[in-house]
Amino acid sequence: MRFKQKLLGAGFALAIAVSGSAQAQTFVNVLTGGTSGVYYPLGVALSQIYGKSLPGSKTSVQATKASVENLNLLEAGKGEIGFTLGDALSQAWTGVADAGYPKPLQKLRGVASIYPNYIQIVANASSGIKTLADLKGKRISVGAPKSGTELNARAILNAAGLQYSDFAKVEYLAFGESVDLMKNRQLDATLQSAGLGVASIKDLATSVDITVVAVPPEVIAKIGDAAYQPGTIPAGTYKGQDAPTPTAAINNFLVTHAGVPDDVVYGMTKSLFDNLDGMVSAHAAAKDIKLDKAVAGMPVPLHPGAEKFYREKGLVK
């Protein structure tokens, strides 16, 4: 009887210990984008950093349609941190229905400003497309429906005086799928909003001759959104691109939601900046992630956990 009581007692203690361990475990789901973009490899690197740096953490990486889906998932509590474009984030905060936000997403909280996306309009050289005006009547892919890329496509094309109805065909496809159709001559051009050196365009440039189409500063000015700034795709970024190409740049952000505990977000923010070399190893776009720019232009309130870290670094007074 005493042995049975001891056995039951030991079992009860073990159950309490297991329960306590489970409760202490931190789940971090990183929301990224398509696997052929920049968000995904950076998200994998971030997940690995968190797995090593956050005590008791269980991390995962989710491939998504990027910005708009990520922000809606965060608002619903279905992720702990996600990547997004700045214009998509500001539209989510105010609630722009046409952008995919029927109501304001007020649970979103900022973690860090990271690196810029560049609007990269790439055409098959054989299509004869050299300027934005040449896109009229051609076949184009503008990104997944209501993704950050597609929102960028609408803004850029509208500013250039082009509507979707002006094209022979408009496809709403992820980066890799767009490139596959271009290789098969089923598309003439693709617009991809991503960090420089995105894998999909690198892949395309090794298979066909490409033309990188310029987005002039005067077109960017017509957008009327401060999130869009002039930028340059340096010469040699892609095979066959022999000259620097002016285009639009939009900053990216890491975002969480108000329900994630302060200590977890503090740890996520600190470990990001403590391990930037791991991010750069995943993709060269991460070279532009700088601590001194981490709070610049944030369209939503900082999460208290992130704010604590930036106060310690003297970035927030």
245 in any annotated domain: yes
CB atoms within 10 A of CB 161: 12
Final residue in a domain of this structure, among 231, 250, 269 = 250
Indicate whether 226 belongs to any domain.
Answer: yes
In a domain, 22, yes or no: no
Q: Tell me, yes or no, whether 24 lies in a domain.
A: no
Considering the domain architecture, whether residues 244 and 151 belong to the same structural domain is answered as yes
Average pLDDT, the chain: 92
- Distance between CA atoms of 3 and 6, rounded to whole angstroms? 5
Do 130 and 199 have their domain in common?
A: yes
The interaxial angle of helices 304-312 and 262-274, nearest 10 deg, is 50
Rounded to an integer, the average pLDDT of 293-303 is 96
pLDDT tens for residues 21-59?
A: 444 688 999 999 989 899 999 999 999 999 999 999 999
Nearest-angstrom CA–CA distance, 24 and 18: 10
Which CATH number does the domain housing residue 297 bear? 3.40.190.10
pLDDT at residue 16 in the model: 39
- Give the rounded percent of residues in the chain with a pLDDT score beyond 70: 92
Distance CA 270, CA 305 (A): 10
Average pLDDT over every residue of 284-306: 96
My answer on whether 130 and 206 are in the same domain is yes
What pLDDT is stored for residue 148 in this prediction?
87
Q: What is the pLDDT of residue 233?
A: 97
Residues β-bridged to residue 213: 121
This prediction has a pTM of: 0.85
Question: What is the three-class DSSP state of 249?
Answer: strand
Regarding whether 305 and 243 lie in a shared domain, the answer is no
- Whether residue 15 is predicted with pLDDT greater than 60 in this model: the reply is no
Does 255 lie in the same domain as 107? yes
Beta bridge partners, 247, equal 231
Residue 14 lies in a domain: no
Altogether, the residues listed in the chain come to a count of 317
Whether 3 is in a domain gets the answer no
Q: Which residues face 252 on adjacent strands?
A: 85
pLDDT given for residue 11 in this prediction: 47
Lowest mean pLDDT: which of 13-17, 71-75, 117-121?
13-17
Last residue of a domain, one of 250, 280, 298: 250
Contact between 245 and 252 under an 8 Å Cβ cutoff? The reply is no
CB atoms within 10 A of CB 132: 19
Lowest mean pLDDT among 4-8, 49-53, 265-269: 4-8
Q: pLDDT tens, 102-153?
A: 999 999 999 999 999 999 999 999 999 999 999 999 999 999 887 889 999 9
179 in the same domain as 137: yes
Total number of domains in the chain:
2
260 and 151 in a common domain: no
Q: Which amino acid is at 103?
A: K
- Structure confidence by residue, pLDDT tens digits, 167-218: 999 999 999 999 999 999 999 999 999 999 999 999 999 999 999 999 999 9
Domain check: are 165 and 242 in the same one? yes
Residues 163 and 285 in one domain: no
Judge if 301 and 216 occupy the same domain: no
Q: Does 125 lie in the same domain as 201?
A: yes
The answer to whether residues 269 and 315 touch, using CB atoms and an 8 Å cutoff, is no
Asked whether residue 1 is domain-assigned, the answer is no
In the chain, the percentage of residues whose pLDDT exceeds 90 is 87
In a shared domain, residues 178 and 238: yes
Which of 196, 228, 250 delimits the end of a domain? 250
Mean pLDDT for 276-289 is 96
> Which domain covers residue 156, as residue numbers?
117-250
Q: Look at residue 23 in the predicted model and tell me its pLDDT.
A: 47
Residue 317 pLDDT exceeds 70: yes
Confidence of residue 3 (pLDDT cuts 50, 70, 90): very low
Instruction: Name the one residue in this structure whose structure tokens are 């008791």.
Output: 56
Residue 16 lies in a domain: no
pLDDT at 204: 97
